[in-house]
Amino acid sequence: MLRPGGRPRAGIVATGSELLTGAIDDRNGPWLARELSDRGFEVAHLLLVGDRPDDLAEALRFVADAGVELIVTAGGLGPTADDLTVEMVARFAGTDLVLDTAMEAHIGGILTRWAARTGFAGPALEAANRKQAMLPRGATPLLPVGTAPGLVVERPGGPLVVVLPGPPRELQGMWPAAIEAAPFAALLKRVPPAAARSLRYFGLPESEIAATLREIGSRRDLTDVEITTCLRRSELEVDLRPQPGAESVAAALAEELASRHAKHLVSAEGTSTDELVARALLASGRTVATGESCTGGLLVGRLVDRPGSSAYVAGGVAAYSNEAKTALLGVPAAMIAEHGAVSPQVARALADGARERFGAGIGVGITGVAGPDGGTEAKPIGYVCFCVTTDDGTVIARDPVLPGSRGDIRERSVDVAMHLILRAASGLPA
């Protein structure tokens, strides 16, 4: 828990009635929360509010009352009547809206090009242009990424308000201009660096980290470091966020946590597993190919998610049926008959088959019981066989019983496979 008074606080307000019916997930709040935290703010509240003027006004007042120095809003900048953010922020800042003619001309240019492309034009478009160019007096405008400008609004005696558009691509695209705008840049200069440390483990129970933290806490004062442990499927992430002045405490704690659980440590710098796998494969000069049964393409889909992945991903086969395992990856039908489709033997044959058919250096085989049906006493739901084989004869095999629903089991299986690929590509012992 963070003690009050240490860091400047910030609040985030995301608007849109569709966020409150569950029709759409808010992608801006978490993105902004990470940006602000990484820049050293303590994020006090993240509010989602509908497109209702009173609710929006109350949300701004509530966040301001929580003693924040910064409010970032997302959404509600569009041309329609229920896009209220600019008007409500102006009221909150105690100012009025005036037409920014330079912005009007700028938006007009965007809309003209759009109209030429789509064939849509007329008075509705002109009204939209004018509404979007009405800005709070004295605000610093941010050029549109789509058609709506953003804003940095100073409020006498109150928090700075940064107003950003709702579409995530526009919001993220406008962010660099926002942090360079003079009032926001001045505030950022006063924020002490986050100096956060992030450690990621694989296969380590949360209770082990909790016990280690208790033990270290009995010897050292850790109260000025906010410690968050967060279990994401098979990975455990430990975030350390020091109060200003406690940076060296966090750094020493990170060192100790890394060395105490070195066997399970994936990264002490917060590097993602996907990034580590890509680096290891590129360094090894090998390509990878998959033969997937229960994960049905999810693993190869994740591997090719990274730009540039064609340099180290040869491909994959999702072979759900026994016939497909035999026809596409050469798994002997007799082997399936003898050991069952879910067996270490078939996982090995899937790995070898994928490696050979794709001409890859590393092959991965996955076959398991994802449920909800099909479990037996010997092979219960969650039983998954993994095998990674390489062209120099390394064989890494695992057959755990993974917990959770069908979706959980498939996602965890992909996690496990990623870590086995990392092991094989790094040349670690099986």
Residues in region 195-254 near a copy of itself by CB under 8 A: 205, 207, 210, 226, 228, 230, 232, 237, 239, 241
Smallest gap, in angstroms, from Cβ of residue 263 to a copy of itself? 19
Amino acid making up residue 289:
A
Q: Please state the closest distance from residue 294 (CB atom) to a copy of itself, in A.
A: 8
State which residue, 112 or 228, has the beta carbon closest to a copy of itself: 228
Which amino acid does the sequence have at 285? Answer: G
Report if residue 170 touches a copy of itself, rule: CB under 8 A. Answer: no
Q: Is 310 in the site for a copy of itself (CB under 8 A)?
A: yes
CA distance 159 to 413: 46
Q: Which stretch binds a copy of itself (CB under 8 A): 54-62, 174-182, 343-351, 381-389?
A: 54-62
Q: Judge contact between 149 and 102, C-beta under 8 A.
A: no
- Taking CB under 8 A as the binding criterion, the range among 158-166, 174-182, 271-279, 300-308 that sits at the site for a copy of itself is 300-308
**Residue 116 interacts with a copy of itself (CB under 8 A)?**
no
Which residues in the 118-137 window bind a copy of itself by CB under 8 A? 118, 120
- The Cα–Cα gap between 254 and 200 comes to 11
Tokens of 175: 């962010």
Which secondary structure element, helix H or strand E, spans residue 54, and what is its range? helix 53-65
User: CB-wise, 139 or 148, nearer to a copy of itself?
Assistant: 148
Please identify, among the stretches 135-143, 181-189, 371-379, 386-394, the one whose residues bind a copy of itself according to the rule CB under 8 A: 371-379
Residue selected from 64, 324, 335, 401 as contacting a copy of itself according to rule CB under 8 A: 324
Nearer to a copy of itself, 139 or 253 (CB): 253
Which 3 state secondary structure label does DSSP give 383?
strand
Show Cβ contacts of residue 81 under 8 Å, excluding neighbours closer than 6 positions. Answer: none
Q: Which is nearer to a copy of itself, 139 or 319 (CB)?
A: 319
Of 139, 161, 298, 349, the one binding a copy of itself (CB under 8 A) is 298
Amino acid at 128: A
* Residue whose entry in the numeric block shows the structure tokens 């796998």: 277
Give the angle 86-91-92 at the CA atoms, nearest 5°: 95
DSSP bridge pairs for 70: 10, 160
Task: Closer to a copy of itself by CB, 139 or 402: give it.
Answer: 402
> What is each CA distance from 298 to 7, 258, 315, 413, 417, in whole angstroms?
41, 30, 12, 9, 11
What DSSP designation does 12 have?
Answer: E
Whether residue 409 contacts residue 382, with contact meaning beta carbons closer than 8 Å, is answered with yes
Using CB under 8 A, which of 108, 146, 217, 296 touches a copy of itself?
296
